[in-house]
A and B are shown apart, each in its own frame.
Chain A
Amino acid sequence: MRFFTFILSSLSLITSSALVSAKKDLTETERKTIWSLVNADKSETIWKDKINWHADIWEARKIANREGKPLLIWEMDGHPMGCT
């Protein structure tokens, strides 16, 4: 985890030409930058984090029954929590 334990204070340290070079290994700084750019921010995962989603419909049905609540079932082609 040592490469990825903190977020860069500045993203201006690297040039794109260095990043796209296939002829040399990425530097540790470049890896950290890509890590922080790619990973979702908290604001982007609010719909997963603020709502307690289940993935097992039968288990969710049992919980709903136990807690006296209705189910909200969200079905998509491609799992909403793991596809895109």
Chain B
Amino acid sequence: MLNREFIFSNPEVLKWIDNKFIFVAGDDWYRRRAQDDASVWFKSIARKARRGKNGSTQQGCYAVTPKGELLRFINTSDPKKFTVTMLEALKLWDGVVQDKKVTIPEMKNFDYKVNVPPIDPSKDVLIKVQSRALTEKDGKLERWNSNGKAGGKPAVGHLWIKQAEWQSIVQNFKTMEVGETTPLTKRLIHRIAKFHLIDNTRGEGPAWESKDLKHAKVTLTRVKNGFAIRGMFLLTNQKKSLSHSTELSGEITINQSTARPVSWTMIAYGKHRGEGKYTRNARPGAQPLGFTFEFLPASKIRPIDLVPPQHMRWQRGYWEAEKH
């Protein structure tokens, strides 16, 4: 994550902000393109802050009444400026007499061509993906210290697996003997490689294309309660300006009575080289990059865990990763 999160990590901000607002975070890439009721409503607010003209960016922090009146807007990474602006917004809110409570209608118009239909965590499989730049020092592996620059923090994403895709894994479990090995489906291998084994530690890293997958192999070996997973990836773009060589390993444990995952944990570790249009200032050469994958059971999922995978912006490309 880049620097704006630090506003919400700042101890001075956290002292006053708690419970003062209802907080909601969104991806403006979707918002400014979508025509659903929520996006249209938000765009009307952004216009009041002089944001989003002719489809331009609406990024920033908006203090808004439930009716849709803009109280204050700011786009800053400075906690002091943020605090001053939002405390002004709260004063204005205290002064609101009429329309403090309004009737909020149900959403009628959705836009799933742009916005992503939500996943069902009781049926589908949601895996949290974290990544971090690492470094080798004196023969040991450690976290890379960016000295305050972008790239030193962990990045977060979500891998989505549909119920039917999960069921094919369960079916393998039922029919295979302990010790037997089978490949993971090409669809899931491509989804993991193209959209999750990317360097997003300095922002939105570019997805890999199918032709970039020089080697991509993942196998499932049946063990008593699930599978051991092993995989290798070699990813290189056409210009040879980006490459990623990484090894994947982990395990899946299956609840045999519910046929749901108990756990799905994997790590990927290897070396990544290069940078994307929005991820400048990569370290020179091939550098260690690590990933963790962890299944989130429905009972532990928070609203923010349901944020779609970053590269879901092209939905068919994500769901049918092996075809495109």
Contact = CB atoms under 8 A, between A and B. Distances in A.
B16 interface: no
Contacts of A52: 23
Interface in B249-295: 249-251, 253, 262-263, 265, 267, 269-271, 288, 290-292, 294
Contacts of B20: 69-70
B61 A35 contact: no
B42 A76 contact: no
A7 interface: no
Most buried by B among A17, A51, A68: A51
Interface stretch (B139-147, B179-187, B235-243, B314-322): B139-147
Contact of A78 (B62, B141, B203): B203
A60 B22 contact: yes
Given A26-B249, A69-B20, A75-B59, A57 B38 contact: yes
B307 to A, nearest CB: 3
A51 to B, nearest CB: 5
B99 to A, nearest CB: 10
A81 B66 contact: no
Interface residues of A, number: 61
A3 B292 CA distance: 12
Contacts of A22: 232, 245, 247, 270
A64 to B, nearest CB: 4
B21 interface: yes
Interface string B77-109: 000000000100110010000001110100100
Q: What's the interface size class on B, roughly?
A: 35 or more
A4 B265 contact: yes
B142 A11 contact: yes
Given A11-B142, A75-B62, A81 B267 contact: no
Contacts of A75: 25-28, 31, 42, 46, 58-62
Interface string B114-145: 00000000000000001110101101111100
Contacts of B304: 48, 53-55, 81-82
Contact of B64 (A2, A26, A71, A81): A71
A30 B268 CA distance: 11
A37 B26 contact: no
A61 B23 CA distance: 9
B156 interface: yes
Contact of A76 (B27, B64, B143, B250): B27
A64 B37 contact: no
Contacts of B140: 11-12, 14-16
Given A39-B130, A53-B24, A77-B27, 5 more contacts: A3-B265, A11-B141, A38-B131, A57-B38, A74-B62
Interface of A: 1-4, 11-12, 14-17, 19-20, 22, 25-26, 30-31, 33-35, 37-40, 44, 46-48, 50-58, 60-65, 67-84
